[in-house]
Amino acid sequence: MSKLIIEGCPRLSGSVSANGAKNSVLPILAATLINAGENVIHNCPDLRDVDSAVNILRHLGCKVRREGKTIIVNSSNITRYDIPDNLMREMRSSVIFLGPVLARCGKSSMSFPGGCELGPRPIDLHIDAVKKLGVNVTESGGILECTAGKMTGKDIILPFPSVGATENIILLATACHGRTRIRNAAQEPEIDDLIAFVNKAGGMAARRGSEIEIIGTQTREHTEHTIMPDRIETATYLCMGAAVGGDVEVRNTYPQYVETITEALTQAGAEISVRKDIIRIKRDKPLGSIKPVRTMPYPGFPTDAQAPLMAAMLKARGSSIFLETIFENRYRHVSELMRMGADIKVAGRVAVVEGVTRLFGTKVRATDLRGGAAMCIAAMTAMGKTEIDDIHHIDRGYEKIENVINALGGRALRE
């Protein structure tokens, strides 16, 4: 198993670029099933989760090849509608294949998804939605067997703005007769990227605030699309700059999608400047505490940025409070940070970070994707060397993160 060895550094300086968004490329790769043709997807990051999605597509019969940052998917000949347990368990978002497989094949068979252990991620919202659209669902031994009857567009009101459920409904609705409206739909930018792809593929989908309307229609045989920049990757690199100090630029990003993060870092004392697709963060003075951070669906503070921001605040003066409302096990990284000397108290969904003067390098492990990023940030501010194990979690969402650290003047080695 590979591990990262990161040595603390006094200051960062340099420029890095955000890759394509993990949370956009995965549903869009799944969406290539709906148009029965060639799909050219640009700006695809080299991630474990992307590899997992490609493996699922190949299992279903698609021809897939990668050319640098571009993935070409030919979905003209689908030979299967089942996804085996070993492929479903590779990533938590694998359930996104439910809608497009049903739309294309009229039936599907899959187990429950795997991925990071962040607590329950019930897929009942997905199941309830596909039932309303005319799909018969049975469960036996952890396997979901779905068969489409006469699928007709309906109004679907989500009790919670679930990203995955919104995506699945959009993709299944492309094969339904008539109009489907999703009310209380998730508003994440990655969903708008999916809508853009669906429309390029010949679908008809549009957002009006928290409502998304889809009209079932035939899709085209050829589609080309460029994945939006990753806002969580952007947030992570900004938190690196804030934690270590120095002068860091993140290029090829969308500043408007990370405003809750830049606002928090500005409160802490970092200097943020924006021009077009570039965010610059400068930090020379010690960080101070910030107002309580409450994770919320977009446009609120993203749960995926909670761990990186927490790592940035470990040596800030004063107390910072985090309230996690999305995943109940989102603080699994806390015990590892405390091994490095962090002062964090957790009570249920609340975590209180008391700034310390020093962190110390030691052996830790990446507990999950974003927790692993927090380990990297903390290691860059610690005295001595830190060994991070279980970095396969980090590789799910960051493309060779050690290269980014080194490009900014840090010291990181993969062994």
pLDDT tens digits, the chain, 415 residues: what are they? 799 999 999 999 999 999 999 999 999 999 999 999 999 999 999 999 999 999 999 999 999 999 999 999 999 999 999 999 899 888 778 899 999 999 999 999 998 765 444 344 468 899 999 999 999 999 887 788 999 989 999 999 999 999 999 999 999 999 999 999 999 999 999 999 999 999 999 999 999 999 999 999 877 889 999 999 999 999 999 999 999 999 999 999 999 999 999 999 999 999 999 999 999 999 999 999 999 999 999 999 999 999 999 999 999 999 999 999 998 888 999 999 999 999 999 999 999 999 999 999 999 999 999 999 999 999 999 999 999 999 999 999 999 999 999 999 999 999 9
* Residue 376 is among the residues annotated as catalytic for this protein: no
Strands across the sheet containing 278-283: 12-17, 246-251, 278-283, 271-275
pLDDT at 1: 72
Closest CA to 366 of 414, 302, 410: 414
Whats the size of the chain, residue-wise? 415
Q: Judge whether 318 and 308 are in contact, CB under 8 Å.
A: no
Active-site entry in 9, 62, 116, 146: 116
According to the model, what pLDDT value does residue 120 have? 44
Residues 6+ apart with CB under 8 A from 99: 30, 126, 130, 167, 168, 169, 170, 171, 172
Three-state secondary-structure class, residue 354 = strand
Residue 230 tokens read as: 């990753």
Q: Integer distance in angstroms from the first to the last C-alpha of the chain?
A: 8
pLDDT at 119: 43
In this prediction, residue 112 carries a pLDDT of 72
Q: For residue 203, report the phi and psi dihedrals to the nearest 5 degrees.
A: -75, 175
Answering whether pTM is above 0.85, one says: yes
DSSP-assigned beta bridge partners for residue 74: 38, 63
Which residues sit opposite 205 in a β-bridge? 214
Rounded Cα gap, residues 257 and 107, in angstroms: 36
